[in-house]
Chain A
């Protein structure tokens, strides 16, 4: 038993209801999402399929020419298991077209451009499909800022945003997702051999355990160290969380008038709905 374990049937019920209700308010009964072949997008797709019906969910595979071919195969396995519609849009020409003019860009910039190209595709296809873009970012990566701003972090509704990676795996298993996504090491697949854990420098097990104590349980640095977390680990993750706050916020607006959006013009998205 892990301290982060959740009641999966309850989480499923709440998230399915959330998707259906929040999309329905604005007249949407359909969803579109990127299907990477990884566990996060597989789980989002599974929840969307339950909320809207599989025939109303479009899973879009968006490989770049260096993407691992097994990612697309896994995405297809997930789509087939869920019975959702699929579409493939190769983003190589989009990304390479841009970098032909900016050839000096490093690997990080290229990775970000891929993530943002996928966002462009999803938001464009959402018009054709008449569906909302469903997010696939989990709580661990949101807190760490392990995402591309306006890229993979962009969505209308995100059912995974309050689930740590451990809980994503738990719920994915509960929903019976294919073994291929449950077994492989999480990866953004932006370059060859990339894995999340190697890039972040810590295992999801350690990250989830620390973030849970730090955020959910509101423990102080001293308490965390006393509970056995290495001081450097605690401090580096706290710093990382704070540094990446900007990714969790809408753009900052300078206040000039008497009433300013996001400062003292306060309405929910559900305004009047």
Chain B
């Protein structure tokens, strides 16, 4: 799997939309319209946020809006993907009626990969694990644009998830999110505290794992929870190359390339010097002593 060439040279569009809660038809129409206009702007990869087809705080609507990835309603997106690679979030109906918070990549008229959110966020205002089953792996998706890792929102808060994509030589990590903005205290840096923390996390992961980070968050509100937007692209040196404003809908277009990856990895060969076998042995030892 690691033998495939890295051919990344791609115009990415991040689509910071405001989906309607539980209204698949309206959201699907929005996806199609956004993707078409992105295509006209020259985009090759269009990314939508977490649960972009359904909205986020679904609660009892979760099973009502669930789809299998083969569902005929997704046909227009499959068709569009012949011209532009699409990433979007949806409630996936799996076997045994298990529901997943999933993110699919469509390319060349077919599904090239699905990631099921592993780290369901179930604390504070969040209750993911009540409605969703957790995903069970972190796998790279082979796209014509390169090797893509997907981490859905809370997945990004677990260093190990991004580290696995680093080991698998991801060219870019896509981070779809539905993060409500919070923390408006004065006296420090300006802006939303939650958005600043997210930015720090993305910068650090990009730097440590020498990969492009494509963070696509949503806007709008569901009841009183106001999604913070602020989607951005961070390069493999950990530097921000493009960003969208906080709180508002919008889209940004950004060139992502393998040349920058190469330069970062030559300058600091972190993957070469990583010691996964040693780490695996240490993990086995620690888990053996303390449990998983």
Contacts and interface: CB of A to CB of B under 8 A. Distances in A.
Contact of B247 (A13, A266, A269, A273): A13
Interface of B: 20-23, 55, 57, 59-61, 181, 184-187, 190-192, 220-224, 226, 247
A14 B224 CA distance: 10
Contact of A14 (B23, B59, B61, B226): B226
16 contacts: A6-B184, A6-B185, A7-B186, A7-B191, A10-B184, A10-B191, A14-B226, A17-B221, A18-B226, A22-B221, A22-B224, A162-B224, A265-B60, A270-B21, A272-B22, A273-B23
Interface string A60-95: 000000000000000000000000000000000000
A268 B59 contact: yes
Given A268-B21, A272-B21, A272-B22, 10 more contacts: A6-B184, A7-B185, A7-B186, A17-B226, A18-B226, A161-B224, A266-B59, A267-B60, A270-B222, A271-B21
From B23, B61, B222, B224, name the one whose CB has the most chain A CB atoms within 10 angstroms: B224
Contact of B61 (A1, A18, A21, A267): A267
Contacts of B20: 272-273
Chain A, interface size category, equals 20 to 34
A272 B187 contact: no
Is the contact region of chain B dominated by helix, strand, or loop, or is it mixed? loop
B17 to A, nearest CB: 14
A125 B61 CA distance: 34
B77 to A, nearest CB: 22
A116 B190 CA distance: 41
B123 to A, nearest CB: 13
Contacts of A14: 181, 184, 226, 247
A272 B221 contact: no
A1 B187 contact: yes
A127 interface: no
Contacts of B181: 14
Contacts of B60: 265-267
A156 B175 CA distance: 35
A14 B192 CA distance: 10
Contacts of A223: none
A11 interface: yes
Contacts of A8: 186
Contacts, number: 67
B233 to A, nearest CB: 23
Contacts of A268: 21, 57, 59, 222-223
A5 interface: yes
B23 A272 contact: yes
A17 B18 CA distance: 13
Interface of A: 1, 3, 5-8, 10-11, 13-14, 17-18, 21-22, 161-162, 265-273
Nearest to A157: B224
Nearest to A272: B22
A129 B223 CA distance: 23
**Could you say which of B184, B192, B223 has the most chain A C-beta atoms within 10 Å of its C-beta?**
B184
A7 B223 contact: no
A174 to B, nearest CB: 11
Contacts of B190: 7, 10
Contacts of A1: 186-187
Contacts of B21: 268, 270-273
A7 B246 CA distance: 14
A162 B21 CA distance: 23
Nearest to A1: B187
A272 B61 CA distance: 9
Contacts of B187: 1, 5
A7 B23 contact: no
A271 B22 contact: yes
Given A7-B186, A268-B57, A272-B20, A22 B247 contact: no
A233 to B, nearest CB: 24
A269 B61 contact: no
A160 to B, nearest CB: 12
Contact of A21 (B23, B184, B221): B221
A22 B186 contact: no
A5 B185 CA distance: 6
A11 B185 CA distance: 10
A267 B59 contact: yes
Contact of A271 (B61, B192, B221, B226): B61
Contacts of B247: 13-14, 17
A267 B58 CA distance: 7
B273 to A, nearest CB: 41
B246 to A, nearest CB: 8
Contacts of B223: 22, 268-270
Nearest to B228: A14
Contacts of B184: 6-7, 10-11, 14
Nearest to A22: B221
A168 B162 CA distance: 42
Contacts of B61: 267, 271-272
A273 B61 CA distance: 12
